[in-house]
Amino acid sequence: MTRHESGLVVETQGHVRVLTLDRPERRNALSSAIQADLIEELLRCAEDGVRAVVLTGNGPAFCAGFDLKEIREADQRGERFRPPMNRTTRALFEVVTETPVPIVAALNGAAVAGGFELALACDLRVAARGIKMGLPEAAIGMGANFGSVVLPKRIPMGIALEMLLTAEYVTSEDAERWGLVNRLVEPDDVLPTALRLAERIAANAPISVRRMKETAVKGLELPLWQALRLDVGPNPYLSEDRVEGIAAYLEKRPPNWSGR
């Protein structure tokens, strides 16, 4: 286990890496330091042979969004605020979305503002019953740029606009009904359920999984004829794992994936 000074905790369980936001006293708010460490760890996952990631929080909240105390202190110093999606470096949400390794958000508690956007950037979401979610940025003069773009792609436009424009919260039950949450479970079952989901993903051929994620994400906005001819990521049809997978299936044994 590795613990960064920012409060990010990193653990590896087999082929699954667990990233935990551990700033419960700040409701796991996204400080500049923890954002940088998250980006670094996610970039490292692909290099380390990790096949799935679980992202969760410690304490009663998943993540309360950007650290408003840190932002206010910067305002008081007269520093110019740069929106997350308008910086020279890649934004955290971009990295989460573009990471080739599938990411499961384990929503142990409230996911609001940037914390909700972080959950939106993940591929799958497991949530505790009765937690609140939402984008309250309009009530405090912020923008929710990522959420404004992504949320209408995940749920019906009318519901997305109501959440954005009223700044009101919804429940995890609402989110499951709209298809935003994959599993709705009791609070104590959130992390175990997310881990089982990640382990099930990690049991599959890593090249196939990567190809499917990249094709699904990049093909979403393309016309059907273009999406069907997308050639992104490594090609599983030309891989050693394709040969191994067919052999293992016919020989009725577990496959031994090489990632090649």
Mark whether 212 and 189 lie in a shared domain. Answer: no
Give pLDDT tens digits for 117-128.
999 999 999 999
According to the model, what pLDDT value does residue 74 have?
67
Q: What is the mean pLDDT of the chain?
A: 91
Whether 106 and 224 map to the same domain: the answer is no
Nearest to 70 by CA among 81, 57, 62, 86: 81
Predicted local confidence at residue 221, as pLDDT: 83
Same domain, 166 and 238: no
pLDDT reported for residue 25: 92
What average pLDDT does range 207-222 have in this prediction? 89
Tell whether 256 is covered by a domain: no
Q: Is residue 224 part of a domain?
A: yes
Q: Which residues contact 107 (CB under 8 A, 6 or more apart)?
A: 56, 62, 119, 125, 126, 127, 128, 131, 133, 172, 181, 190
In a domain, 29, yes or no: yes
Residues 77 and 89 both lie in one domain: yes
Q: What is the pLDDT of residue 233?
A: 76
Give a yes or no: residue 257 inside a domain. Answer: no
37 within domain boundaries:
yes
Whether 163 maps to a domain, the answer reads: yes
Contacts of 145 by beta carbon, 8 Å cutoff, 6+ apart: 83, 84, 85, 86
Q: Please report the pLDDT score of residue 150 as a whole number.
A: 94
What is the residue whose two structure tokens read 């405090």? Answer: 140
Residue 68 has a pLDDT of 72
Is 255 inside any structural domain?
Answer: no
Per-residue pLDDT tens for 9-53? Answer: 999 999 999 999 999 999 999 998 999 999 999 999 978 889 999
Supply the pLDDT for residue 73: 72
One domain for residues 174 and 229: no
Average pLDDT over residues 104-125: 97
| Residue 241: domain span | 206-250
Contact (Cβ atoms closer than 8 angstroms) between residue 192 and residue 199: no
pLDDT digits (tens, 9 = 90+) for 58-88: 999 999 988 777 767 767 676 676 666 555 4
At residue 61, the 3 state secondary structure works out as strand
Residues 47 and 144 both lie in one domain: yes
Domain count, the chain: 2
How does pLDDT run across 131-162, given as a tens digit for each residue? 999 999 999 988 889 999 999 999 999 999 99
Residue 161 shares a structural domain with residue 56: yes
Active site residue 117: yes
From 183, 202, 221, give the residue that closes a domain: 202
> Tell me, what's the pLDDT at 164?
97
Cα gap 117→50, rounded to integer Å: 23
Is pTM, for the whole model, over 0.95? no
Catalytic residue among 5, 137, 173, 251: 137
Whether residue 140 is found in the same domain as residue 40: yes
Distance of CA 103 to CAs 48, 243, 245, Å?
Answer: 15, 27, 24
C-alpha span between 257 and 260 (Å, rounded): 8
Return the pLDDT at 143.
83
pLDDT above 90 covers a percentage of the chain that reads: 73
Compute CA distances 54 → 10, 92, 193, 198, 254, whole Å: 10, 16, 10, 7, 24
Catalytic residue status for 214: no
- Flag whether 108 is in a domain: yes
Please, which pLDDT band fits residue 101 given cuts at 50, 70 and 90? Answer: very high
Catalytic residue among 40, 117, 162, 240: 117
| Statement to judge: residues 74 and 164 lie in one domain | yes
Closest residue by Cα to residue 200 from 177, 187, 183, 214: 183
Do both 122 and 6 map to the same domain?
Answer: yes
Query: For residues 19 and 3, is the Cβ–Cβ distance under 8 A?
Result: no
Same domain, 50 and 146: yes
- CATH number reported for the structural domain that contains residue 40 in this entry: 3.90.226.10
pLDDT recorded at residue 92: 92
Tell me, yes or no, whether 76 and 140 share the same domain.
yes
216-243 pLDDT, tens digit each = 988 888 888 888 887 787 888 899 999 9
Helices and strands counted in the chain (H then E): 12, 11
Final residue of a domain: which of 202, 218, 234? 202
Q: How far apart are CA 259 and CA 204, in angstroms?
A: 10
